[in-house]
Each structure stands twice: as C-alpha cells, then as structure tokens.
Copies of this chain bind each other. A is one copy, B any other.
Amino acid sequence: MTETEIRAAVKAAVERVKATNPLAPSITNTVTQDFVANAQLAVGGAAAMLYLPDECEDMAEIAPTFYVNMGTAMPFYAETLPRLVKALSEHQKPWVLDPVGIGLSKVRMNCLHEFKDFKPTIIRGNASEIIALAKLWDLIDDSHGGQVRGVESTEKVSAAKEAAVALAKFTGGAVAVSGEEDFVTDGKDEMFCAGGSALFTKITGSGCALGGVMAVYAAVASPFIAALTATTIFNLAGSKAEALSGLPASFKVAFLDSLYELTAEDIANNFRIVGAFEEIFNNALQAPELKNILG
C-alpha cells in the first residue's frame, strides 16, 4: 500500500464506523470496562460486555467483531474463552486479542496456548506482552527480553519489532505494539506511529480501550488498517487532550471527548511510516493539520 492508499483506507474506516455503529462485544477485565465501552461509543461503535460461554458463542455469531482481553481472568474463563474463540473461528469473525497478564496463571497460559490454533485477527499488547506471546507460540527464541511486571512493560516498543512481525506472519493478521511510540505491522507493511501522551501511563486502561476500539474498526476494515486507525486516533486524541490538561483525570475526560470529536480527515493525517516503504510520513506532532486541531 502507498501512503495515499493508507490515508484513504484509514479515512474510510473512520467514516464507515461513524455511519454504521458496529457492535464490538468484549470479554474484558472488570477494571477498565467502563473506559473500553465509552471509547468504543465515542468513535461511533457499540459495546456489550459478556462472560457466559453460551452468550459469547451467540454473540460471536451475531456481532461482526469481538474484543478478547485476558485481564482479571476469573475461573469460568477456562470454559468461556476457548468456546468463544472456536465460535469466532467458525463464523470467520475478526477478533482482537489483548494478552494482558501473560505468564501469570495456568488459566491464562492454557487459553493463550490454545489461541495459537485460532489465529487472532489483531494482537495488541505492550512490548513485553508481544515478546512473551511470540515466545509462548515458539515463533522467536529465548534471546529476546519480554519480562512482564504485572501489567506493565519492561521493554521498549522497538525491542518487540521482531516478535510482532513473526506473530503477524504466523496469524496472517496484524499486530500492534503500544508504548511511547507504537508499532503496527501485518508482517509486510510496518509502521511507527507518533503522538499520544505520557499521561496515558498515569490513567488505567488506555491499552484496553485501544484494543476495544481496534475491534470496532476490525468490523469495517482490514486487520492492518483497523489496528492503524485505532492507534492513530488514540495518539491524536491523546495529544489534543494533553494540550487541554496536564493532570490525569481531566486528561481522561478530554481524551474521550476528543475521540468523539475528531473527524476522519483529522485522523487520516496523523501518522508517519517507516520500514518497508523507506519513506517518512509527516510526524504528527509537527503536522500543520494537528497544529490547526490543537489551535
């Protein structure tokens, strides 16, 4: 894809979601459900959170996409997650995997191991989680880092680039690594996205909300464009919110407001690409478009 094609595809994804309000159900951690749902609604999607195996299966049939986040796993996840993922596969629905807490428990590890056969459409995590998942699935060797400290990354995004590309080549979908700058790849195209805000680390759930919004865009776009669109809108809304408040709780309010307010044009003009293209897009934070938005 050329730069022009990518910008057009991102713009189309944003517009389609605003026009069709796709439902993106989630099984996701209890801590950040409110944030995930409100972020999904703000970009134009619809939200529903579920736990029971049979209703997850029903939803996998009805809904055009799904978000699977491993945080705050409960005992019944051992039954719900495998059945959900099988149903998503049968109905050929795109889904986003957020391997929060990888390494922590048998329930999570068994589920994550089993997910290898069902190839998530998009995998989103911080650098440590992406490296740990690529190791668990034997896609990279042990020479990489990937220690996970609770839910935080101990690695830089760039350290997870090889793991992300290996995962994307294996699944045939996309992988997004979140951090100070973000990396998105489908195994061929590779993109670093700038922008965002350091305040994302001072509020809980921005990673979960990002995964939930990726699932919304996955209903209307390719895995790569869905991951890229969500990443880009988060970076832009984060920059805009930080310009409005340097304090975390009012930043979060401004961030959700900005997610809702940003137009397709705003979003499509906020990224740079490196790698496969050997071409540099405008850096978002210097782009005249962003200056106008932040006004």
Which residues in chain A, 209-265, are within 8 Å of chain B measured between CB atoms?
245, 247-250, 252-257, 260-261
9-residue interface stretch from A112-120, A133-141, A147-155, A171-179: A147-155
Min CB gap A84→B, angstroms: 13
Bound complex: CA of A59 vs CA of B104, how far in Å? Answer: 8
Assuming the A-B contacts A31-B33, A63-B150, A253-B250, are A204 and B52 also in contact, with contact meaning beta carbons closer than 8 angstroms in the complex? no
Contact B51 A73 (CB under 8 A): yes
Q: A30 on the interface (CB 8 Å rule)?
A: yes
Q: A8 on the interface (CB 8 Å rule)?
A: no
Interface string of A37-52 (1 = CB under 8 A from B): 1100110001111111
Which residues in chain A, 134-191, are within 8 Å of chain B measured between CB atoms?
149-152
Contact B107 A23 (CB under 8 A): no
Bound complex: CA of A75 vs CA of B78, how far in Å? Answer: 12
Q: A35 on the interface (CB 8 Å rule)?
A: yes
> What residues of B have a CB within 8 angstroms of the CB of A42 in the complex?
202, 248-249
Min CB gap A88→B, angstroms: 16
Q: A108 on the interface (CB 8 Å rule)?
A: yes
Q: A283 on the interface (CB 8 Å rule)?
A: no
Q: A277 on the interface (CB 8 Å rule)?
A: no
Assuming the A-B contacts A59-B150, A152-B23, A256-B248, are A74 and B73 also in contact, with contact meaning beta carbons closer than 8 angstroms in the complex? no
Q: A274 on the interface (CB 8 Å rule)?
A: no
Q: In this complex, what residue of B is CB-closest to A71?
A: B49
Contact B152 A205 (CB under 8 A): no
Bound complex: CA of A130 vs CA of B143, how far in Å? Answer: 51
Q: A279 on the interface (CB 8 Å rule)?
A: no
Contact B37 A50 (CB under 8 A): no
Q: A94 on the interface (CB 8 Å rule)?
A: no
Q: A195 on the interface (CB 8 Å rule)?
A: no
Bound complex: CA of A63 vs CA of B37, how far in Å? Answer: 30
5 nearest CB pairs, A to B: A249-B256, A247-B257, A55-B105, A37-B204, A48-B150
A and B contact pairs by CB, cutoff 8 A, 8 listed: A31-B49, A32-B34, A34-B204, A38-B203, A51-B74, A52-B74, A55-B108, A74-B74
